């Protein structure tokens, strides 16, 4: 998709906010505990390579991604730090991952067997670094019984030329919930599995952002730092207290490109779902659902000159209309996410209106919207 550099709509990414969040977390970690910054999904929409550079400067010692191509993007950008692919990859790509020093998540022994087959076909090369994923209650991927886990570790031990047991981990599904009943059950299941290991690998990790923020006693020696690094509270509003202030790194701004005086009885946008009850000023903003600004945001608001301005009529693919308190010149700034005077719109506010989570909102902004980096 083309990047809209000749349009005033842009995502503004504050590097200083990223630094603050990451450094604040690094300063809380016990000696020997590392932080891997999670930069999957284009760094939660913030820009993977750009976020990785800031994270490295702020104390991150490695990175986590979701798919192999995201890891290869970081390698191509010059990052030599450890990279863990959290999702299941194709065993046929094991030689590529080994050559690029990219660590694989493994959730089944048959994956190891197939990967070892491809690795054995090489004339030479380093072994593939693997992290065994354990399913302690997330229900997504991973080994579930001590017997399954032992079979996998035995296989790795028997094929040391091809495979290295670098890590073991799980993922907590309710670490951001004030009710920790299910969380404690997952912790117990984790110990039931990992305590059977004859030897622990280099990395033992369970903590995502939520776990490290509110259950840091579980951190072990690696934290996978995601949402909080971008200044997003993983719980939404459920647990407002955090060990340090999270500073949102993403703002979304545009400009008015057209204004008009709407007469009472006149309608706006597709379906004529909005009809003016009185004469009013309307401004057009060049952003729409093709940019990731959801069609369902009709009735929400933006900020213009410190004023809350309702989005009227349906959000179009590329444009939308807002009701203004009075006329403004073309080029007047419009804030869709961020601060304007005493008013603020957060990603959480947008998510609440859309009945979703701020992760989805941040990840949903398309590549057509340019990312502009400050500080």
Q: What is the distance between the alpha carbons of residues 60 and 101, in angstroms, rounded to a whole number?
A: 17
Q: Which two tokens stand for residue 144?
A: 């579930």
Q: Tell me which residue has tokens 């369902």.
A: 296
- Choosing from 40, 203, 230, 293, the catalytic residue is 40
C-alpha distances in Å from residue 277, one per residue of 24, 136, 266, 267, 298:
50, 56, 8, 10, 17
Q: Is 40 a catalytic residue?
A: yes
Q: What is the distance between the alpha carbons of residues 51 and 61, in angstroms, rounded to a whole number?
A: 13
Q: What is the distance between the alpha carbons of residues 88 and 135, in angstroms, rounded to a whole number?
A: 13
Q: What is the distance between the alpha carbons of residues 199 and 179, in angstroms, rounded to a whole number?
A: 33
Burial of 281 (0-12, 13-18, 19+ CB in 10 A): middle
What three-state secondary structure class fits 138?
A: coil
User: Closest Cα partner for 169 from 110, 106, 212, 127?
Assistant: 106
- Choosing from 244, 270, 289, 293, the catalytic residue is 270
Q: Is 244 a catalytic residue?
A: no
Find out whether 316 and 288 touch, Cβ atoms under 8 Å.
yes
Q: Which two tokens stand for residue 208?
A: 């995502």
Neighbours of 3 (CB within 10 A): 13
Write out the DSSP string of 72-94: HHHHHTT--S-EEE-S---GGGH
Give the alpha-carbon dihedral of 197, 200, 206, 211, to 10 degrees. Answer: 110
Neighbours of 284 (CB within 10 A): 17
Q: Which residues are catalytic?
A: 40, 270
């Amino acid at each position: 998709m083309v990047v809209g550099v000749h349009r005033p709509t842009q995502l503004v990414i504050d590097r200083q906010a990223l630094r603050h969040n990451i450094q604040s977390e690094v300063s809380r970690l016990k000696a020997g505990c590392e932080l891997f910054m999670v930069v999957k999904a284009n760094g939660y929409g913030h820009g993977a390579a750009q976020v990785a550079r800031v994270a490295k400067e702020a104390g991150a010692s490695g990175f986590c991604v979701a798919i192999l191509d995201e890891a290869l993007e970081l390698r191509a950008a010059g990052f030599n730090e450890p990279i863990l692919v959290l999702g299941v990859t194709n065993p046929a790509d094991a030689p590529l991952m080994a050559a690029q020093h990219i660590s694989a998540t493994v959730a089944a022994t048959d994956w190891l067997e197939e990967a070892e087959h491809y690795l054995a076909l090489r004339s030479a090369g380093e072994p593939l670094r693997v992290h065994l994923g354990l399913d302690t209650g997330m229900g997504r991927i991973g080994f579930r019984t001590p017997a399954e886990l032992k079979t996998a570790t035995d296989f790795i031990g028997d094929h040391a030329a091809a495979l290295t047991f670098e890590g073991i981990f799980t993922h907590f599904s309710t670490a951001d919930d004030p009710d920790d009943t299910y969380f404690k059950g997952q912790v117990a299941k984790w110990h039931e599995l990992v305590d059977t290991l004859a030897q622990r690998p280099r990395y033992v990790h369970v903590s995502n952002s939520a776990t490290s923020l509110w259950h840091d006693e579980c951190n072990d020696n690696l934290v996978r730092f995601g949402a909080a690094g971008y200044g997003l509270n993983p719980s939404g509003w459920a647990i407002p207290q955090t060990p340090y202030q999270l500073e949102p790194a993403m703002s979304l701004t545009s400009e008015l490109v057209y204004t008009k005086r709407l007469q009472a009885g006149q309608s706006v946008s597709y379906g004529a779902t909005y009809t003016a009850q009185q004469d009013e000023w309307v401004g057009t903003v060049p952003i729409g659902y093709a940019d990731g600004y959801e069609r369902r945001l009709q009735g929400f608001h933006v900020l213009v000159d410190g004023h809350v301005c309702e989005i009227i009529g349906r959000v179009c693919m590329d444009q939308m209309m807002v009701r203004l308190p009075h006329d403004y010149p073309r080029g007047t700034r419009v804030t869709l996410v961020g601060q304007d005077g005493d008013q603020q719109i957060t990603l959480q506010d947008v998510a609440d209106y859309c009945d979703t989570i701020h992760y989805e909102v941040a990840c949903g902004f398309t590549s057509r919207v340019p990312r502009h980096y400050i500080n």
